[in-house]
Structure 1
């Protein structure tokens, strides 16, 4: 168990129970040693965890169980905040941001994820310029030194995929090549508490390949995203995957495949029932393919009506 993360949780509970730090460590360790635990310099021995748990009126087993539950709960909230920002749902984003600002985020990865989400939030709300965002996000993950790593957390790759979308020219090409190589061996990515992060990464990479007209790679990453959704029984961003696939198959002259992807995109949109999203994709598709999308779908579903 990470001592720094555990101490963050101990501090959260201690503060909530109105126990002074002096009383909390009394008879367990010195203040100086406790600070070493809090900074991650020293590892908390199991017997000390038990003593701290007792100070909080908990068993060590209960403390560790609640610690893991709280980490997961915070991660879900940070993920919701990030999605609200990405989808321009500012009312919900502000609410979640206020809740997270008033909480003590336990895990180091969770804090990194939240800090990134907060930078993106400030960018979309025009509090930060693009150069300021690039500087802050790069510092957050120690870019470009991070590219020398062999293993990455999914949050680190998510942040790299954000930079991919704002970089231009050679810098974008270099990062895209590195992300491609990471996904050649997906074991290099250490999964976190959210399947949605991984899916968003795949969508972003597919989008950039589409801009660069590398259509086989678009199809490859879209299919990775769809296959992952099937495994985890979630359909997050499938409308984008099928839309990008349809554009790629169309560009490659694969009529049956692009029409099949367009039809599946329609079904995913209808299944979600988000009318603003349906309108958005309908406008995109009708502009891209010069068709009436609803008529196209009707004719595909009812082929006899064309006779």
Structure 2
């Protein structure tokens, strides 16, 4: 069983824009997936299908083995939490605590259960001390974390995020990246859309490239240094890869996708050069 199983789905807007076009995809349970592509690729439309905000006009979707339809949508939304790009679209109650309670209360949990899941959710995102605050007193990054806590309080198996790094400063981006890593350690399947190829290369274990409602390629982080694939998706190489591409004397089988790979490659190059120098001296 896959976390997400999509077969030949189609979704066309009234203006005849085909946002998703015969798209098929399978996401393994427990994976970290980054969805990339240019504006208008259909990323957000695809994500909105995965918890029933939209239903495919053709094709089928299964979540944790359950077919998505109007009868099962309530169950699906308990299994799939969707965090919108703008937290102001999601965080709307008078206090942080009231906002995080909203989802569990609608699920019909008891007061004791609501308190327990909300305490755990706020603790998971480092926002427990802010539970009495009004959301409009929070920073943008803090509101993002509250939005994520509201989803976690519903105890989903799958967490979906639409551009989680948008409009965050570097510290906020690091906090969200660490949070997503922690959620995955807890067994959550994480699927997000992003334009940040550097973040995707260092965080995801599955990369999906989209354009014009179709899947261009699916692979590991090495897909982001495949220049043909990147060009088709209208993206650019990760910064560290571009740096190595600019070095004239560096000859490597594959460009590094992130800093860790770059350090390993540089260490190998230095060790090779040092070994050659020692042989010459002998």
TM range (shorter): 0.3 to 0.5
Structure with a larger share of its residues in helix: 1
Structure with a larger share of its residues in strand: 2
Higher RCO (CA < 8 A, seq sep 6+)? 2
TM-score (norm 1): 0.34
Larger radius of gyration: 1
TM-score (norm 2): 0.36
